[in-house]
Amino acid sequence: MANAYLQGVEISASQFLDIFHHYDNDGNGYIEGKELQSFIKELQQARKQAGLELTDQMKAFVQEYEKNTDAKIGIVELVQILPTEENFLLFFRQQLKSCAEFMQNFLKDLLQKAKKPYDEKKLDEYTHTTLKIFDSNHDGKLCLAEMARLLPDEENFLLKFQNVKMVRREFNKIFELYDQDENGYMDENELDALLKDLCEKNKKVLEVNKIPTYKTAIMALSDGGKLYRTELALVLCAEDISAPAPL
pLDDT, one tens digit per residue, over 156-207 is 555 667 778 889 899 999 999 999 998 999 999 999 999 999 998 888 878 8
Instruction: Please write the tens of the pLDDT for every residue from 9-46.
Output: 888 877 888 898 899 888 777 898 899 999 999 999 99
Q: Which of 87, 238, 215 is CA-nearest to residue 162?
A: 238
In this prediction, residue 173 carries a pLDDT of 93
Q: State residue 93's pLDDT score.
A: 54
Rg of the Cα atoms in the chain: 21
State pLDDT tens for residues 122-148.
777 767 766 665 666 666 666 655 555
Q: What pLDDT band is residue 97 in, cutting at 50, 70 and 90?
A: low
Q: Where are the beta strands (DSSP E) in the chain?
A: 31-32, 72-73, 185-186, 227-228
- Predicted confidence band at 59 (pLDDT cuts at 50, 70, 90)? very high
**Closest CA relative to residue 62, chosen from 79, 81, 75:** 81
| Closest of 163, 232, 237 to residue 202, by C-alpha | 163
What is the share, in percent, of the chain residues with pLDDT greater than 70?
Answer: 71
Q: What is the 3-state composition of the chain as percent helix, strand, coil, each rounded to the nearest 5?
A: 60, 5, 35
Q: Please, which residues have CB within 8 angstroms of residue 222's CB and are 6 or more apart in sequence?
A: 185, 228, 231
Average pLDDT, the chain: 79
pLDDT digits (tens, 9 = 90+) for 74-88: 877 888 888 887 656
What gap in Å lies between CA 79 and CA 221, rounded to an integer?
A: 20
Q: Which long-range contacts (CB under 8 A, 24 or more apart) does 156-164 make?
A: 157/210, 157/213, 157/214, 157/217, 158/217, 158/235, 160/205, 160/206, 161/206, 161/235, 161/236, 163/202, 163/205, 164/198, 164/202, 164/205, 164/206, 164/236
* pLDDT recorded at residue 102: 63
pTM above 0.85, yes or no: no
Mean pLDDT, residues 211-229: 86
The pLDDT of residue 154 is: 44
The CA-based dihedral angle spanning residues 239, 241, 246, 247, taken in that order and rounded to the nearest 10 degrees:
150
